[in-house]
Amino acid sequence: MNTIFLSLVVLGTIGLLAAIILYVVSQKFKVEENPIIDEVEAALPSANCGGCGFPGCRGFAVACSEATDLSNLFCPVGGNDTMKTVAHIVGLSVVETKPKIAVLKCNGTCEHRPRTNQYDGAKSCKIIHNLYIGETACHYGCLGGGDCEVACAFDALHINPVTGIPEIDEEKCTACGACVKACPKLLLELRFKGPKGKRIYVACSNKEKGGIAKKACEVACIGCSKCFKVCPHDAIIIENNLAYIIDDKCRLCTKCVDECPTGSIQKLNFPIKKKEVAEQAQA
Amino acid sequence: MNKLIISPAPHIHSGDSISKNMYAVLLALVPAYLVGLYFFGIGAFVVSITAVLSCIIFEFLIQKFIFKTTTTIHDGSAMLTGLLLAFNLPSNLPIWIIIIGALVAIGIGKMSFGGLGNNPFNPALVGRVFLLISFPVQMTTWPKPIPFNTSYLDAETAATPLAMIKYNFGNLPEKMDLLIGNMGGSIGEVSAIALILGGIYLLIKRVITWHIPVSMLVTTFLFTGILHLINPSLYVSPDIHLLTGGLLLGAIFMATDYATSPMNTVAQLVYGIGIGLITVTIRLFGAYPEGVSFAILIMNGVTPLLNLYVKPKRFGAPKTKKN
Amino acid sequence: MKTFTFGGIHTADMKLSAGKKIQIVPIPSEVIIPLEQHIGAPTNPVVAVGETVKVGQLIGKAVGFISANIHSSVSGKVTKIDTVIDAWGYKRPAVYIAVEGDEWMENIDKKDVVRKEITTKREDIIQKIADAGIVGLGGACFPTHVKLSPPPNTKAELLLINAVECEPYLTCDHQLMLEKAEEIIVGIQILMTVLQVNKAIIGIENNKKDAISLLQQITSSYSTIEVCPLAMCYPQGGEKQLIEAITKKQVPSGQLPINIGIVVQNVATTYAIYEAVQKNKPLIERVITVTGKKVAKPGNFLVRIGTPLRVPLDMAGGMPEDTGKIIGGGPMMGRAFMNADVPVTKRSAGLLVMPTLESARKEMQNCIRCAKCVTACPMGLEPYLLMSQAEKSMWKEMEETYITDCIECGCCLFSCPSNRPLLDYLRMGKSTVLEQIRNRVQKVN
């Protein structure tokens, strides 16, 4: 009985002492902070991806609470819904932004782009890039080392072992831009997701002249300007033997896709045309 | 022509590999194992085979069905863990206890941390200490060394020299018997000569460096020596301490385990000294007659700190200012 | 016997072409001379398409101080100034010259007589070296005239000649010493005049006994030049390691050898300096080793810069059937080539052809923390730690773990039993950290 009593007293005293110390310390070192920051932070996705340009969600929350205008602040992960909540908390008007997604400006799969040598070293694009041009003859294209896959915090990017290039999961990609920074060849770009995910882009970054580019990769952009001529919206520019579709101007008419002789212009999430269905059936 | 291979420099390799190191250690353990077989007979054989096989099987099962990765049992590390575990067990231990020890060694000691190289504690010692605490009676009744003994569980028992010293009974074996291994004890710890032979082989093969064993043995020798000089009637001479209680087995084979020992020579010396000090402290002032296992495990826990704070000497490092 | 004290490894020597006489490679019908063959700014072409050039004529003029002139190695007509794909697939500016005859510039002394007397004035020697476009032929290709102009507040007291050649397989420096020993000694005297030092030590590894005895015999009549045989250990040819091996002095971390009064020059560079100063001959040819286990006739070749590497390779018996890897330089620090159809540059010290079986690395396994990389590191770093930091992009921590001290010798990867690509990550981390430091310095200024 005595033992039980004694242990109760001892443990109780230790607990009480600890509580008092904790209280005193927390009072003594209290940091006064704007309570809005906590509120904003709670509304954010807490992925800490840095896609907004701030070090983590907390940093973004601080910036939001201090801002007088939200037009330069955007959480790519949470998107417009989150920004609406944040705007409500800080009492500012929200600026709508079109959702974006990462696209790979290279389609140099194993099938399209023959391997000229075999890399045998640490699997990292940065290391390959520092060493030489990569396993193929195209020194603008994807190295397949998977730095983007490692950088992605949302499990949205995976190197397809068959094609050797990364594939982007539309559902999971939040356009945080981590992969864009990770790619040493600057192949990833954040582009508008488009209505129902419909989007058109040039899946090539090769700046070589047509012949050389085509030799290195079947689906390379050869800079022939056919798409440039056919585009009714002036959305395509040709620079350094490479076509580029300006996101803002493109109306998704798909004329360039049909015109491209190498098939380097990609369209995604378009319904399959009847003609194509018929062609496929024939084949 | 084949596609050329491109890789960053260097383009040649020493040819060293994990399995080469592991098999070298296994080879170095053979003399001690033979002595164990000679003195403890059939029991030593049963215990060691059980320990090795169950370690390999547990590693295989865990990698195959829990991790679902390729198995690495061929690299010899599971075999080594099993043999080292067996070396630390008495030869009259029932099979079911050995299997539990192997499961703890491989499952908890090694695999729960991510497998080879990631374990903070020496797996064989984790298994051994687990058994020592769980089955103290079975783990501390050692069979008497009888050449070509054919009895297993019913073997005649004897005390280890350290237990004799600790509890003040019996006559200590002759020095020569201590060297050869004619004394009660675990299978692999008895023969000093065989263990030293293995150690020399490992040093020549550059599998281990001298730092850990030497610092550990010297510390033990000095510490016990000083105490012996102070009070010879209470503390036995340091050479007995060196030759008994698995100190040599621990110094040469257990403390030098790659994953659990520090990464640079300075830290390795500190580590060895630490093990020596703790061993002697446990032996002379603690509850157990021998403390090598505990000492190594404790210093295993300190290893990450040593790696963090004791840095190797850098080439051209600025000399610290003398003020 | 002396050697350095930190780390190091013992490699199989594999000097297959040792003792093979230097063969002169015939001039090909066309040479391609890249316009950047050194560390620093690329050169500006100073010839026009269609122009006729002579051997030794300047074709690429150095831009800025850290740069080196490039000269035509043949006589003939410039056919185009275009790009050439280098051994790593990148495009580099280059001058294409169609060879016509072999007409040399008039001021070049072509006679094969050793000119011992140094008549050039000290101030003119550096200018001559700079004009001749001489770079460090040990591998780094750092312009030599820069190295010979010590920064203010420093004074050279000792000249070390690096004749270690610790890389396995390579023998070009060894053979050069055997055949051009007299000239090298004159080169050393020139260097001593420039640096105003009165002591020079030649460091040679003990596997070149014939070169040691030859040089000892010649230098016995000079009180100021000494030959120092060294015990074999890689990477003894590293500047800092060589200095420690010979003088027991350590170059402080982050500083240059000149900070402790020492200048190190490669032995092939010394020979090039002799030729430039005494014979007015710019750096238009160099000795390279073509070797490999499966190569029929491994040997040493004197090649004009710009000759396709395939030419000396064919002289050595051609590319073997079983070729897995072509390496420019030695196996420890050389870089793998994508093909052998690239021109010889000042950089190429050797061409090593490795059979397929030896080319591929073994599968990487877990780090077992055996500490062999730490023991092997000649700079006293912790490669295992640096690799995991690089994998996790912890650049700040890498800088604090002294990644900038790394000399990229490859001892860590060589000795790793788990075949972990330690140096790959270390090199990547080092370049990233150096870039960050540069950016930081720029911001401050």
**pLDDT tens sequence across B253-268:** 999 999 999 999 999 9
Contact B3 A115 (CB under 8 A): yes
Q: Shortest CB distance from C428 goes to which of A117, A120, A126?
A: A126
State the best of A113, A117, A217 to mutate against chain C, taking most chain C CBs within 10 Å. Answer: A117
Q: Find, in chain A, the residue whose alpha carbon is nearest to that of B4.
A: A117
Note whether A63 and A112 are same-domain residues. no
| CB A182, CB A151: distance < 8 Å | yes
What was the pLDDT predicted at B323?
42
Q: Do B4 and A118 lie within an 8 Å CB cutoff?
A: yes
| pLDDT over 80 at C88, yes or no | yes
List pLDDT tens digits, range C24-80: 999 999 999 999 888 888 889 999 999 999 999 999 898 888 889 999 999 999 999
More confident residue, B145 or B19: B19
- Tell me, yes or no, whether A146 and A264 share the same domain: yes
Q: Is C434 on the interface with A (CB under 8 A)?
A: no
Grouping H, G, I as helix, E, B as strand and the rest as coil, residue C134 is coil
**Is 80 exceeded by the pLDDT of residue B319?**
no
Tell whether A131 lies on the interface with B, counting CB pairs under 8 A: yes
Tokens of C427: 């090199």
| Bridging pattern class, strands C200-205 and C158-163 | parallel
At residue A28, the pLDDT reads 87
For the stretch C388-419, pLDDT in tens is: 999 888 999 999 999 999 999 999 999 999 99
Under an 8 A CB cutoff, do B3 and A117 touch? Answer: yes
Start-end of H helices in B104-252: 123-134, 136-139, 161-167, 175-180, 192-204, 211-230, 238-243, 247-249
In whole angstroms, how far apart are CA A114 and each of A117, A130, B17?
Answer: 9, 21, 34
**Span C122-279: which CATH code?**
3.40.50.11540
**Phi then psi dihedrals of residue B32, to 5 deg:** -65, -35
pLDDT value of residue C187 = 93
One-character DSSP codes across B261-322: S-SSHHHHHHHHHHHHHHHHHHHHHSSSS--HHHHHHHHHHHHHHHHHHSPPPPTTPPPPP-
- Which residue is closest to B9 within chain A, CA to CA? A121
Whether residue A160 sits in one domain with residue A45: no
Restricting to C residues 293-312, those with a Cβ less than 8 Å away from any Cβ of B are none
Q: At which of A90, A112, A130 does a domain end?
A: A90
Least confident of B122-126, B151-155, C45-49, C303-307: B151-155
The verdict on residue A112 lying in a domain is: yes
Residue A128 tokens, joined: 């390959």
Cross-chain residue pair A118–B8, CB shorter than 8 Å: no
> Does C328 reach chain B within 8 Å, measured CB to CB?
no
Q: Which of residues 85-144 of C touch A (CB under 8 A)?
A: 87-90
Nearest chain A alpha carbon to B3: A117
Q: Among all residues of chain C, which has the CA nearest to that of A138?
A: C89
**Same domain as A70, residue A195:** no
CA gyration radius for chain C?
A: 22
Residues C206, C164: Cα–Cα separation, whole Å: 9
Residue B118 has pLDDT above 80, yes or no: yes
**What pTM did the predictor assign?**
0.87
For chain C, what percent of residues have pLDDT higher than 70? 100
Which residue out of B4, B6, B7, B11 would a mutagenesis test of the C interface target, given it has the greatest number of C Cβ atoms within 10 Å?
A: B11
- Which of C88, C362, C419 is the best mutation test for A, with the most CBs of A within 10 A? C88
A191 and A134 within one domain: yes
Closest-CA distance, C362 to chain B, in angstroms, reads 9
Domain residue spans of chain B: 18-308
- Overall domain count for chain A: 2
Whole-angstrom Cα distance, residue C20 to residue B285? Answer: 71
Chain B residue with minimal CA distance to A123?
Answer: B7
Q: Do C88 and A133 touch (CB under 8 A)?
A: yes
The answer to whether A116 contacts B5, with C-beta atoms less than 8 Å apart, is no
- C109's tokens: 């002394």
Two tokens, residue A255: 């004329």
Distance CA B146, CA B44 (A): 12
Residues from chain A that touch B5, judged by Cβ atoms under 8 A, are: 117-120
Q: Which chains touch A (3 or more CB pairs under 8 A)?
A: B, C
| Ranges of chain A whose pLDDT falls below 70 | 274-283
pLDDT at B322 over 60: no
A126 and A149 assigned to the same domain: yes
The CATH T-level fold of domain B18-308 is: Ammonium transporter fold (1.10.3430)
* DSSP class per residue in B125-142: HHHHHHHHHHSHHHHT-E
Report the pLDDT value the prediction gives residue C76, as an integer from 0 to 100: 92
Closest to B53 in 3D by CA, of B73, B69, B67: B73
From A90, A113, A129, give the residue that closes a domain. A90
| Sequence letter at residue C58 | L
For residue A121, the chain C residues in CB contact (below 8 A) are 361, 421, 424
Which of B162-171, B228-237, C428-437 tops mean pLDDT?
A: C428-437
Query: What is the separation of C-alpha B76 from the centre of its chain, rounded to a whole number of angstroms?
Result: 16
In terms of Cα–Cα distance, which of B197, B203, B172, B198 is closest to B185?
B172
B1 pLDDT higher than 60: no
Q: pLDDT tens across C113-144, in order? A: 888 888 888 888 999 999 999 998 877 788 99
What pLDDT shows up at residue C201? 94
Phi and psi dihedrals of A118, rounded to 5? -120, 125
Contact: A124, C90; criterion CB under 8 Å: no
B13 touches A: beta carbon within 8 Å: no
pLDDT band, residue B321 (cuts 50/70/90): very low
A10 min Cα distance to partner chain C (Å) = 45
Kindly state the average pLDDT of the residues B238-249: 88
What percentage of chain B carries pLDDT values higher than 90? 58
Q: Is the ipTM of this complex over 0.90?
A: no
Mean pLDDT of the residues in chain A: 86
By C-alpha distance, the chain B residue nearest C357 is B5
Q: B6, A127: Cβ pair inside 8 Å?
A: no
Which residues of B fall within a CB distance of 8 Å from C382?
263-264, 311-312
Residues A230 and A105 in one domain: yes
Please report the pLDDT score of residue A279 as a whole number.
Answer: 67
A91 touches chain B (CB under 8 A): no
Taking CB atoms and an 8 Å limit, are A133 and C335 in contact across chains? Answer: no
Q: Give the DSSP H or E segment for C411.
A: helix C411-415
Residue B25 to chain A, least CA–CA distance (Å): 30
pLDDT at C426: 94
CATH number at residue A58: 1.10.15
Touching chains, C (3+ CB pairs < 8 A): A, B
Cβ-based contacts of A134 with chain C (< 8 Å): 89
Cβ-nearest to C366 among B10, B118, B262: B118
Indicate yes or no: CB of A121 within 8 angstroms of CB of B6.
yes
Question: Nearest residue on chain A to C361, judged by CA atoms?
Answer: A120
Residue C110: pLDDT band (50, 70, 90) is: confident
Question: Taking Cα atoms as reference points, which of B145, B179, B142 lies closest to residue B290?
Answer: B142
- Asked whether the predicted pLDDT for residue C262 surpasses 50, the reply is yes
Of B7, B13, B312, the CB nearest to C374: B312
User: In B, which residues are within 8 Å of A117 by CB distance?
Assistant: 3-6
Q: Does C408 touch chain B (CB under 8 A)?
A: yes
Please tell me which of the candidates B10, B118, B261 has its beta carbon nearest to residue C413: B10
A23–chain B Cβ distance below 8 A for any pair: no
Q: Residue B296 has what pLDDT? A: 95
In this predicted structure, the answer to whether residue C204 has a pLDDT above a threshold of 80 is yes
Domains in chain C: boundaries: 122-279, 372-444
Residue A280 has a pLDDT of 65
Chain A window 37-76: which residues touch C at a Cβ cutoff of 8 Å? none
Q: Check whether the bond before B10 is cis (ω within 30° of 0).
A: yes
Q: What is the mean pLDDT of chain C?
A: 90
In degrees and rounded to multiples of 5, residue C163 shows phi and psi of: -120, 30
Supply the pLDDT for residue B189: 87
Q: Does A127 touch chain B (CB under 8 A)?
A: yes
- Residues A104 and A82 placed together within one structural domain of the fold: no
- Using one digit for the tens of pLDDT, what is the confidence trace for B64-80? 999 888 888 888 899 99
Q: What domain range includes position A39?
A: 35-90
For chain B, the chains sharing at least 3 beta-carbon pairs closer than 8 angstroms are: A, C
Inform me whether the C-beta atom of residue C379 falls under 8 Å from chain B C-beta atoms. yes
* Average pLDDT rounded to a whole number, residues B259-286: 92
Show residues of chain A in contact with B8, CB under 8 Å.
121-122, 127, 131
Contact flag A119-B3 (C-beta cutoff 8 Å):
no
